[in-house]
């Protein structure tokens, strides 16, 4: 369509403008489907920015595990506090403790030790299920069924995450120190140290996205409208990702590539292959 209107395909009329038009129609999708689409694309956008390292901040964050851990600790604190206070309605890996009316633990277990061990056991089983699922997908893709595809990364991370969180929370709630007012916030922040056990960019970018959503849910304007800022940003971010993927697939994250190929039935990938065929090779140039 853009080629007919302009007479020929231009750089931004090839996929960028059509993607904006197509992405705008997601506003009319059911809320749950739209939320899932927005989560995947926004997370892919953040991950792609870290991958490209064009900005000083993204370059520094991509190369520093210490900074990544600190950022994740902040995200963990914001999200867990948001879930406890009701700002955050989306998915997160941990469930926060109930709000305490006084400086005492709110769990129903006989003591804090049982509460901590029980939480680590439950999340160990969840992590084991995730690792088994990832191993199954990896074996299916490669066609090789062996134990080299199986790892316990999710188990270690989730056990450390819930362990640090509950140990910190129970310890802080048991201290009669009025100087420590935000005890749950501090426990959630310390729990983010578990990122060192599983330093994956996907988890970091998902944490950044959910932290932004949590803050937006708390401080967003009170007026209501038929659509939100996410509906406005989604078509432009989708077009940015598809445009970059067509020109240079290595400039977007693996998650973005999977989403783009699945939603376009590999159409963007085929355009990229056509463009590569049109480019002169070194042998032809000589």
pLDDT at 286: 40
Q: How far apart are CA 222 and CA 98, in angstroms?
A: 27
Give the rounded percent of residues in the chain with a pLDDT score beyond 70. 85
CA dist 188 and 161 (Å) reads: 9
The predicted-structure confidence for 122-140, as pLDDT tens digits, reads as follows: 999 998 998 888 888 777 7
pLDDT score, position 103: 66
pLDDT, tens digit (0-9, with 9 covering 90-100), for 82-119: 999 888 888 999 999 887 766 677 788 888 899 999 99
Q: For residues 109 and 112, what is the distance between their CA atoms, to the nearest angstrom?
A: 7
Question: What pTM did the predictor assign?
Answer: 0.83
DSSP string, 179-230: T---HHHHHHHHHGGGGGGS--HHHHHHHHHHHHHHHHHHHS-S---SS-HH
């Amino acid at each position: 369509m853009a080629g007919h209107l302009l007479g020929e395909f231009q750089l931004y009329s090839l996929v960028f403008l059509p993607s904006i038009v197509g992405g705008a129609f997601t506003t009319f999708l059911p809320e749950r489907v739209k939320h899932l689409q927005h989560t995947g694309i926004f997370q892919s956008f953040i991950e792609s920015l870290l991958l490209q390292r064009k900005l000083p901040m993204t370059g520094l964050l991509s190369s520093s595990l210490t900074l990544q851990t600190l950022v994740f600790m902040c995200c963990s604190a914001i999200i867990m506090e948001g879930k406890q206070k009701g700002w955050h309605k989306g998915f997160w890996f941990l469930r926060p403790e109930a709000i305490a009316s006084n400086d005492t633990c709110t769990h129903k277990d006989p003591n804090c030790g049982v509460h901590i061990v029980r939480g680590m056991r439950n999340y160990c089983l969840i992590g084991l299920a995730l690792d088994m699922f990832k191993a199954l997908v990896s074996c299916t893709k490669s066609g090789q069924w062996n134990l080299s595809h199986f790892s316990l990364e999710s188990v270690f991370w989730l056990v450390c995450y819930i362990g640090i969180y509950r140990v910190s929370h129970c310890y802080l709630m048991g201290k009669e120190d009025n100087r420590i007012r935000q005890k749950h916030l501090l426990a959630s922040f310390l729990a983010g140290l578990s990122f060192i056990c599983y330093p994956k960019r996907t988890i970091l970018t998902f944490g950044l996205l959910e932290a932004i959503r949590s803050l937006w849910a708390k401080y967003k304007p009170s007026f209501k409208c038929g659509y939100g800022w996410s509906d406005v940003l989604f078509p432009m971010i989708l077009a940015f990702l598809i445009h970059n993927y067509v020109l240079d697939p290595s400039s977007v994250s693996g998650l973005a590539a999977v989403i783009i190929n699945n939603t376009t039935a590999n159409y963007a990938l085929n355009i990229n292959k056509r463009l590569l065929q049109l480019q002169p090779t070194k042998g032809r140039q000589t």
